[in-house]
Amino acid sequence: FIPGCWSDTAEVIELAKVAAKYDGLYASHIRGERETNIQATLEFIQIVETAGLRGQMSHMQSKYPVFGNNVMKMELLTQARHRGVDVTVDSEAFPEGGGSIGSFLQIYHYTADQLVEQLKSPKARAEIKHTMRTIDPWHPLGRFGPGGVPFRRAWDRVIIWDCPHDRSLEGKSVAAVASQRGIDFEDALFDLALAENCRGPRFIHDYIEDDHFRTTSWEYCIFPSVDTGLYDPAERLSPLDLKYLKETRYPGFIGLFPRVLGQFVREEKLLTLEEAVRKMTSLAMQRVGVVDRGVIRPGMWADITVFDKDTVALRSNDLDIERIETFYPTGIDYVIVNGTVTMEGHKYTGARAGQVLRKL
């Protein structure tokens, strides 16, 4: 992500050495998850090994068009562990990834507001379009994230997620919008970005199930992992509020754990229930150095989920724009945060009992 993508390996190593002095953890969104993700994995290992600290690869995945590369990445990480390099990974365990429309256009050092102004210029649009089609795979943004999609013009994989200016476009791909309007893919993207001030969310159909299956059952994988937060800081919405889900439209925010418990454990039998719960709780807390959470025993903080192992599941894997309520999982009776009941069934109690976690 900007600005970290502009740093070179040597700079990251020096920063990691400082963290190592305090028994820190180098948690990395590695530099490449597409055509160059093997090289990026080797860079991650190099940084951890040279700096001498623990390493956590965030959201381990092999995105379009390099499906299946997780097998090779696990081999490289296992070899590093055999050398004494302390590396682990986590996994999103979800078939889509999200982000903003503007993230496709961050090839230049533009803020969202600056980019909006650039997209009003025919000359700038032509230059950006050319760069997107010809970007060097080892350009900082060519080798990470959405860079591989514009380069391969795979706009059928990019789905419009939330489009307040034209709700009829929600659920359609950028390729479909371009075809509907009779314009280039990139121009369709530019028009959408302008209409949403480069902030409109989108999805990429970026992963395959086999990669998730292999990764989540790997002994060195902690899961699931997802990036989430408040949609509108002014309103202080919780990700559990239905209004939040209607705005963000991403079932993964509240559906990752039920998906693992229902599909990966009960249906696919990729791992035992006990191992899945360990990966979600005590193993995760041990990895980040938090000693008073992750297990149920006297003296620990009461973070507890009460669920039915026979029915817990994600109700919908698809992006049903009209039925956001289906994002709520089944089989979960209570969620207790720091001893306070936060969810009763599908009802959010309004409690805000969460705390900032600090390593002791």
* pLDDT attached to residue 239: 46
Beta strand 221-222 pairing with 340-344: unpaired
Ranges of residues in the chain whose predicted pLDDT is under 70: 1-2, 95-103, 105-112, 135-148, 151, 198-212, 224-253, 316-327, 360
Torsional class of 156: left (φ above 0), alpha (ψ -120 to 50), beta (otherwise): alpha
* pLDDT attached to residue 159: 82
Q: Are 24 and 53 in contact (CB under 8 A)?
A: yes
* pLDDT attached to residue 294: 94
pLDDT digits (tens, 9 = 90+) for 87-124: 999 987 776 666 666 667 665 556 667 778 888 899 98
By C-alpha distance, which of 119, 99, 98, 97 is closest to 189?
119
d(CA 175, CA 187): 10
By C-alpha distance, which of 159, 138, 160 is closest to 35?
138
Query: Which alpha helices (DSSP H) does the chain contain, by range?
Result: 9-20, 37-51, 70-82, 112-119, 122-134, 148-152, 174-181, 185-195, 209-216, 242-248, 252-259, 273-280, 282-288
d(CA 352, CA 60): 30
* pLDDT attached to residue 233: 42
* pLDDT attached to residue 236: 45
